[in-house]
């Protein structure tokens, strides 16, 4: 009897041991490890910084002027390249609203500018006055000789000069005379003298405001 109890107790203990081992036999499931997601580092977008725009400094607008050599009244100068040179010397400037004699005169639309000058010819051949190359000029106007008024200076007793507009100058000689322009009294001018050949620079003689030019005194007579 005692032996049966002992065997039963041993059996029960052994069964309990087996049951204990069987109960803990499940595999432990590993917790998923969250992979650290690399946070994309926001690349700083470089904001294009505009280069500071240089502020234009306000400057006084220069009145357009001559683009060649300039001269004053009384100064001698030569225009043109070798072989086509002509010498000039502007000796006097006058203005008048009318020119000529009592019976034969011209009236200006503005005011006549009388240019008294000396023309010299260093060339081998004779030359004529270059009418279309001798111009009254400013930034808005180009004025050519007044063909009607220029010859009438010979009939004007207020000035002792002949027209040079149609004159021929022989080689190695010179002549004096005048040409006439009809200009605006409220404008300022330059005489623009261009070369007659292919080479050489355009020269300028300052007239200035026409209203400042000496006016011929007296009235037309004769």
pLDDT tops 80 at residue 45: no
- The predicted pLDDT at position 222 comes to 57
Please name which of 109, 84, 85, 88 lies closest in space to residue 98, comparing C-alpha atoms: 109
15 within some domain: no
pLDDT digits (tens, 9 = 90+) for 181-196: 999 999 999 999 999 9
- The predicted pLDDT at position 65 comes to 57
pLDDT tops 50 at residue 38: no
| Mean pLDDT within 93-108 | 96
93 within some domain: yes
What does the mean pLDDT of the chain come to? 80
- The predicted pLDDT at position 221 comes to 65
Number of domains into which the chain is organized: 1
CA dist 93 and 103 (Å) reads 25
48 within some domain: no
Residue 132: give the domain boundaries.
Answer: 70-212
Task: Using alpha carbons, list the distances in angstroms from residue 174 to 73, 119, 170.
Answer: 18, 5, 7
21 within some domain: no
pTM assigned to the model: 0.70
130 within some domain: yes
Please name which of 26, 210, 199 lies closest in space to residue 110, comparing C-alpha atoms: 210
82 within some domain: yes
pLDDT tops 50 at residue 106: yes
Lowest pLDDT segment from 22-26, 95-99, 120-124, 174-178: 22-26
The CATH number of whichever domain residue 203 belongs to comes to 2.60.40.1240
58 within some domain: no
1 within some domain: no
Burial class (CB in 10 A: 0-12, 13-18, 19+), 154: middle
């Amino acid at each position: 009897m005692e032996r049966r109890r002992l065997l039963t107790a041993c059996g029960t203990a052994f069964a309990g041991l087996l049951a204990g081992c069987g109960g803990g036999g499940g595999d432990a499931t590993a917790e998923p490890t969250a992979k650290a997601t690399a946070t994309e580092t926001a690349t700083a977008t470089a904001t294009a910084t505009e280069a500071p725009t240089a502020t234009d400094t306000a400057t006084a607008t220069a009145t357009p002027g001559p683009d060649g050599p300039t001269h004053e009244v009384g100064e001698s100068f030569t225009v043109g390249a070798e072989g086509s040179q002509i010498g000039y010397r502007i000796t006097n400037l006058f203005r008048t609203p009318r020119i000529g004699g009592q019976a034969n005169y011209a009236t200006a639309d503005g005011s006549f500018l009388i240019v008294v000058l000396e023309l010299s010819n260093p060339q081998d051949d004779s030359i004529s006055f270059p009418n279309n190359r001798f111009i009254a000029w400013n930034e808005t106007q180009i004025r050519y000789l007044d063909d009607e008024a220029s010859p009438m200076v010979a009939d004007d007793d207020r000035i002792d000069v002949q027209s040079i507009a149609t004159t021929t100058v022989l080689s190695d000689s010179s002549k004096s005379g005048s040409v006439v322009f009809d200009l605006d009294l409220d404008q300022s001018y330059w005489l623009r003298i261009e070369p007659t050949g292919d080479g050489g620079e355009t020269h300028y003689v300052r007239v200035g405001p026409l209203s400042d030019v000496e006016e011929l005194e007296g009235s037309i007579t004769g």
